[in-house]
């Protein structure tokens, strides 16, 4: 029989694994934000900064993992397309690749 304690332990372990997954991919858990809210933060290669919930950070990280070679300066327009369900990429200037 499953107990509430087992569920709580599994949830705690899942949260720890999710936190580790995000940190390994360059995300930071911070409250150094307007309003001092706790959010997950990541600076993209083009200089944009993502501030979001853990759930959304996990979604971003998943898309980035599937669409990125991991190389510095990787083209984040691919991330824009998938994260925005095919919406037009950001009009923000993209850095030139070396």
Any domain includes 89: no
Any domain includes 22: yes
Any domain includes 92: no
Task: Kindly report, residue by residue over 19-76, the tens digit of the pLDDT.
Answer: 999 999 999 999 987 787 899 999 988 888 999 999 999 998 988 887 766 555 455 5
- Locus of tokens 């029989």: 1
Any domain includes 20: yes
| Full residue range of the structural domain in which residue 16 is found | 4-83
If one compares 95 and 39, the residue with the highest pLDDT of the two is 39
Rounded-to-integer distance, Cα 92 and Cα 80, Å: 11
Any domain includes 14: yes
- Return the pLDDT at 34: 78
Q: Record the pTM.
A: 0.66
With a CB cutoff of 8 Å and minimum separation 6, the contacts of 87 are 80, 81
Any domain includes 29: yes
- Return the pLDDT at 13: 96
Any domain includes 91: no
Total domains, the chain: 1
β-strands 28-30, 39-43 pairing: antiparallel
């Amino acid at each position: 029989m499953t107990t509430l304690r087992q569920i709580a332990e599994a949830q705690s372990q899942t949260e720890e694994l999710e936190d580790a997954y995000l940190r390994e991919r360059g995300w930071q858990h911070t409250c150094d934000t307007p309003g001092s809210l706790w959010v997950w933060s990541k600076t993209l290669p083009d200089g944009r900064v993502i501030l979001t919930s853990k759930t959304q950070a996990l979604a971003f990280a998943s898309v980035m993992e599937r669409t990125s070679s991991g190389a510095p300066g990787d083209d984040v327009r691919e991330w824009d397309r998938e994260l925005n369900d095919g919406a037009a990429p950001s009009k923000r200037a993209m850095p030139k690749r070396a």
